Structure 1
Amino acid sequence: MSDEDREIDIESDADDEDGSQAYSSEDKRAHHNALERKRRDHIKDSFHSLRDCVPQDDSKGSSTKTSRAQILRQAAEYIIRMRDKTQKNDRQIDILKKQNDELQSQVRSLQKSQAGGKAVHNSNFYDDRDDDDSESYEEETVVASPPTKRKKMKTSS
């Protein structure tokens, strides 16, 4: 009778507390083999899950069997790429937050100057534009007037 044909309880690894259950050496070996097979199957399933989680490089044929070492190497490379990408995104977020704070500060200063009745020329807004259009655009000038009425005049530059 082979180990695979036996019905072995692999859920409990310990003998009874009082030792009333005596296993023959053949039963112990079969139990050990069943536990080891279960452990190997679990490791195999874990590697398959890891392989499925990591994006595959299309240049390498997906039809070939991937070794465990390759799965681990690809997973490590993927983790490093994602860590670098996250750091790059964090730096970009910090830059955008600083720009946002600067723009909010400019808006507040413009609102304060408008509330004081001063004329404001919005040339900074157009100077900071990133587009390279050579088309003319209209600038907006606020004319000083009573706080309840404000006139806006459009002028071409």
Structure 2
Amino acid sequence: MNHDHGMGGMAPATQSTNGTSGMHHHGMMMMMHMTFFWGKNAEILFPGWPGSRAWMYGLALILIFVLAFLVEWLSHSNHLIKRGSSNVSAGLLQTFLHAIRVALAYLVMLAVMSFNVGVFLMAVAGHTLGFLLFGSTMFKKNTEVLSYEKTSDLPPMSC
């Protein structure tokens, strides 16, 4: 009789007093933070990545920043689809760009779910700089934004 309750042979999670949760898996204890924490010893997106090296953690933070920045660029770009394109090709390109934007946004969200403060700050910074450069009126030639003006090839994110 199987008593693992659908957890694939893994014991149930245990909660500690320092905000971490652990799962026993084949004799190894895997720690997972459940509260915000500072530090380079984080696990972001993939098991064992970025590891315990400071330069790998820095690289991971840069990657998160770039992903968030790209989400904003895709959200506010209005030059990717050429005027005069057929409806079919324009629709397929819009759909492809939407899929890329959603995938990148979910990767940023999953990285933030590592509960690492550095990752959170870099995601916010990437979204902020991306919006400043591509979404705000600061760098637009005409500072008066008309309500009927098309500001993006893609519909707004509605997460």
TM over 0.5: no
TM norm structure 1: 0.28
- Whose relative contact order is higher, 1 or 2, with alpha carbons under 8 Å and at least 6 apart? 2
Superposition TM-score, scaled by structure 2 size: 0.27
More helix by share: 1
